[in-house]
C-alpha cells in the first residue's frame, strides 16, 4: 500500500517532469522560430497552440529534407 507522502512525492515528480517537458518544448520552438517567438510568449501558449506550432515545425523540417535545402 502506498502512503500519502509517497503519493504526494509521485504527484510532485510527475509535475516536475511535465514542467521540464513544457520548458524544453518552449525553448525548441524559440530556436526553430529564430527569435520570432520569445521564451515568455512560448510559455504563455496553450497546449493546443504548442502542438500546432510543433506540427508546423515538423512539416517545415520534412519539406527541407525533401528539397535538399539547408535548414540551419
Taking the domains of the chain in order of start, what are their residue ranges?
4-67
The three grid cell numbers given for residue 21, joined into one nine-digit string: 517537458
Flag whether pLDDT at 72 surpasses 90: no
CA atoms within 13 A on the CB side of 29: 24
Q: Report d(CA 63, CA 55) in Å as an integer.
A: 12
- Average pLDDT over every residue of 45-68: 91
Instruction: Band the pLDDT of 35: cuts 50, 70, 90.
Output: confident
CA distance 25 to 29: 6
Please, are residues 43 and 22 in contact by the beta-carbon 8 Å criterion?
yes
Model pTM score: 0.76
Show the cell assigned to 5.
507522502
Amino acid at each position: 500500500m502506498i502512503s500519502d507522502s509517497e503519493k504526494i512525492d509521485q504527484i510532485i515528480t510527475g509535475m516536475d517532469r511535465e514542467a521540464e517537458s513544457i520548458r524544453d518544448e518552449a525553448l525548441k520552438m524559440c530556436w526553430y522560430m529564430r527569435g520570432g517567438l520569445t521564451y515568455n510568449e512560448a510559455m504563455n501558449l496553450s497546449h493546443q497552440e504548442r502542438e500546432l506550432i510543433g506540427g508546423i515545425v515538423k512539416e517545415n523540417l520534412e519539406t527541407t529534407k525533401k528539397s535538399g535545402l539547408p535548414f540551419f
